[in-house]
């Protein structure tokens, strides 16, 4: 039997074995039918349909009772209504300059504020994998850029250094971007390497962030397509995405076919946007 990765186990445990809201941990989680008003049918992953449950509700047999319990378990959400609505509104996109006359538009899924901030910190700094379902719930609200699909676009996740990977033990952005890739059905591309040994961006001013990221990224191969969707977990000032975008906006002089690969279409995305006090 194939062994589940730790974060996959966390997804399963949080989603099916805990009925409390996964953010505030106070209120009971609400059914998806209540959180998503437009949802008129069960999610495709649910094993039972409404008609089956309705018939079972009039049946007092042990098997019918099991059907009812299973239905309510599978149709339960991860969040209480209050926490769901607190992260349900997309922030307005903001722009950062990446070259003369060129800017990068960054769209975040939610704000880096309570309660999502606590979930991000727990996942990134304490490896609390039970918070991963909430973060995935948020990034699935990101609108895919119009015209982007698996043949003409790639997702470029914010790379990390080997030193940071060894110290932390896992790469949060890699896990989140892999799930976004599945959701959008757009492949990941790993053609940029992070070579810096800079300090953490947290707590730095915008000017310090930009200086800290000088020469942080190296393009190790040309992108295979023109549409590049850059992704990071938290965009505070957008400095990291800005630096990544600058590297990708400057083509190599020549390629194997002696053609310049310029004029890439860049879009920036993040799980959350806001300050990191």
Which neighbouring-strand residues pair with 103? 97
User: 198 lies in a domain?
Assistant: yes
Q: What is the pLDDT of residues 49-59, one digit of tens each?
A: 334 333 444 55
Residue 109 has φ and ψ, to the nearest 5°, of -80, -30
CA dihedral 37, 40, 41, 43 (to 10 degrees): -20
Residues 27 and 98 in one domain: no
DSSP 258: S
CATH of the domain at 140: 3.40.50
Of 150-154, 197-201, 213-217, 243-247, the least confident: 197-201
| Beta-carbon count within 10 A of 165 CB | 14
Domain that holds residue 75: 6-84
Residues 29 and 104 in one domain: no
pLDDT range class, residue 44, cuts 50, 70, 90: very low
The residue that leads in pLDDT, 267 or 210, is 267
Residue 219 in 3-state DSSP? strand
- Closest of 192, 232, 193, 199 to residue 213, by C-alpha: 199
Residues 129 and 77 in one domain: no
Which neighbouring-strand residues pair with 20? 28
Q: What is the pLDDT of residues 246-258, one digit of tens each?
A: 999 875 433 444 4
Q: What is the pLDDT of residues 154-173, one digit of tens each?
A: 999 999 988 888 888 889 99
User: 99 lies in a domain?
Assistant: yes
Residues 70 and 104 in one domain: no
DSSP 168-218: HSS-HHHHHHHHHHHHHT--B---EEE---PPPSTT--HHHHHHHTTT-EE
Residues 103 and 223 in one domain: yes
Residues 41 and 118 in one domain: no
Residues 180 and 267 in one domain: yes
Indicate the pTM of the whole model.
0.70
At residue 206's C-alpha, the angle toward residues 170 and 177, to 5°, is: 30
**Total domains, the chain:** 2
Boundary-marking domain end, from 84, 108, 123: 84
What is the percent of the chain with per-residue pLDDT over 70, rounded to a whole number? 62
Of 69-78, 195-204, 212-221, the least confident: 69-78
**Confidence at residue 10, expressed as pLDDT on a 0 to 100 scale:** 60
Q: What is the pLDDT of residues 86-119, one digit of tens each?
A: 776 789 999 999 887 889 999 999 999 888 898 9
Boundary-marking domain end, from 84, 103, 126: 84
**Helices 116-126 & 132-139, crossing angle to 10 degrees?**
120
User: 1 lies in a domain?
Assistant: no
């Amino acid at each position: 039997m194939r062994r589940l990765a730790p974060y996959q186990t966390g997804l399963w445990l949080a989603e099916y074995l805990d009925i409390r809201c996964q953010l505030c941990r106070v209120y009971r989680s609400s059914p998806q039918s209540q959180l998503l008003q437009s949802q008129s049918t069960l999610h495709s992953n649910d094993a039972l349909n409404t008609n089956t449950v309705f018939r079972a509700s009039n049946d007092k047999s042990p098997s019918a009772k099991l059907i009812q319990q299973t239905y309510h378990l599978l149709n339960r959400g991860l969040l209480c209504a209050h926490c769901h609505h607190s992260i349900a509104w997309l922030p307005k996109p903001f722009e950062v300059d990446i070259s003369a006359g060129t800017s990068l538009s960054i769209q975040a899924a939610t704000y880096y504020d309570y309660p999502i901030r606590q979930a991000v910190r727990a996942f990134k700094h304490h490896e609390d994998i039970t918070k991963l379902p909430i973060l995935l719930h948020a990034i699935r609200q990101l609108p895919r850029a119009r015209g982007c699909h698996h043949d003409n676009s790639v997702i470029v996740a914010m790379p990390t250094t080997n030193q940071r990977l060894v110290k932390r033990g896992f790469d949060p952005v890699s896990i989140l971007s892999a799930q976004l890739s599945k959701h959008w059905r757009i492949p990941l591309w790993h053609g940029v390497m992070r070579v810096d040994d800079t300090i953490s961006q947290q707590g730095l001013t915008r000017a310090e962030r930009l200086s800290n990221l000088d020469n942080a990224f190296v393009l190790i191969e040309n992108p295979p397509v023109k549409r590049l969707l850059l992704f990071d977990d938290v965009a505070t000032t957008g400095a990291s995405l800005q630096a990544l975008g600058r590297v990708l906006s400057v083509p190599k002089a020549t390629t194997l076919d002696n053609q310049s690969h310029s004029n890439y279409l860049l879009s920036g995305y993040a799980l959350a946007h806001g300050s990191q006090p």
